[in-house]
């Protein structure tokens, strides 16, 4: 089991949230972004228990339905299962419509490659056998190595990348992380 999977598997709150999302039977799904990044960085900084993420980014890919109605339905269903959590469910098949300069995405992992920094496009999925799959189209070396750098999209949208790091207070929350160009 990878270190990321082990960190998530040992977190009862994370596992409860993964079980809730799994019950929706979404196609090509995972929970990504701060759900993984923050827990891993907290673990590597010796912060226990892990701080809860500001939102819970649930990704899935359904090219047959690129409207927003189903996303809200899934958020409502998750809120019924685990009330009061900051669920944010997004179909990655429609993200190229929202972000107009992006090409249509092939799947959830492909959509994640357009995110701003290398440490965020990492997700986990709880499989039917209760195993955890890690989805990391850009790898996990930066996350585990406490390095943050812009992706190709982050370099093209440098001001967004810098603003995101500042507004989320990553330098303050995780002082061991090295921010690279």
- Cβ atoms 36, 44 nearer than 8 A: no
E-strand stretches of 61-154:
87-91, 123-126, 132-135, 147-148
Q: What is the pLDDT of residue 1?
A: 80
Question: CA geometry: angle at 35 spanning 161 and 71, to 5°?
Answer: 90
Question: Looking at residues 46-65, what average pLDDT do you find?
Answer: 94
**What are 16-54's pLDDT values in tens digits?**
999 999 999 999 999 999 999 999 999 999 999 999 889
Domain containing 171 equals 3-179
Q: What is the pLDDT of residue 52?
A: 87
Total domain count, the chain:
1
Q: What is the pLDDT of residue 96?
A: 82
30-34, 63-67, 116-120, 174-178: least confident range? 63-67
Can you tell me the distance from the alpha carbon of 114 to that of 17, in angstroms, rounded to the nearest whole number?
25
Q: What is the pLDDT of residue 104?
A: 87
**Nearest-CA neighbor of 152 among 102, 116, 124?**
116
Give one word for 36, left, alpha or beta, with left for phi > 0 and alpha for psi -120 to 50. Answer: alpha
- Tell me what the pLDDT averaged over the chain comes to: 95
pLDDT higher than threshold 90 for residue 7: yes
Q: What is the pLDDT of residue 43?
A: 97
Can you tell me the distance from the alpha carbon of 69 to that of 71, in angstroms, rounded to the nearest whole number?
5
**What are 86-109's pLDDT values in tens digits?**
999 999 999 887 776 788 899 999
Q: What is the pLDDT of residue 103?
A: 83
Task: Using pLDDT thresholds of 50, 70 and 90, give the confidence band for residue 8.
Answer: very high
**In what order do the strands lie in the sheet containing 132-135?**
87-91, 56-60, 30-32, 123-126, 132-135
Other C-beta atoms lying within 10 Å of the C-beta of residue 33: 23
Work out the burial of residue 49: count CB atoms within 10 Å of its CB; fewer than 13 is exposed, 13-18 middle, 19 or more buried.
exposed
Q: What is the pLDDT of residue 21?
A: 98
CATH of the domain at 139: 3.30.460.10
Q: What is the pLDDT of residue 29?
A: 98
């Amino acid at each position: 089991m990878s270190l990321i999977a082990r960190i998530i598997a040992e977190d009862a709150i994370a596992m409860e949230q993964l079980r809730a999302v799994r019950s929706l039977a979404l196609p090509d799904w995972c929970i990504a972004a701060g759900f993984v990044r923050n827990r891993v960085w907290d673990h590597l900084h010796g912060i226990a228990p892990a701080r809860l993420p500001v939102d819970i980014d649930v990704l899935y890919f359904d090219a047959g339905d690129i409207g927003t109605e189903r996303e809200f339905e899934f958020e409502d269903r998750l809120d019924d299962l685990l009330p009061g959590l900051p669920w944010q469910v997004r179909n990655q098949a429609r993200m190229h419509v929202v972000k107009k300069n992006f090409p249509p995405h092939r799947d959830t992992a492909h959509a994640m490659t357009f995110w701003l920094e290398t440490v965020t496009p990492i997700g986990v999925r709880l499989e039917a056998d209760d195993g955890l799959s890690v989805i990391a189209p850009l790898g996990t070396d930066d996350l585990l190595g406490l390095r943050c750098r812009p992706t190709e999209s982050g370099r093209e949208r440098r001001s967004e990348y810098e603003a995101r790091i500042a507004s989320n207070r990553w330098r303050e929350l995780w002082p061991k992380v090295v921010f690279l160009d």
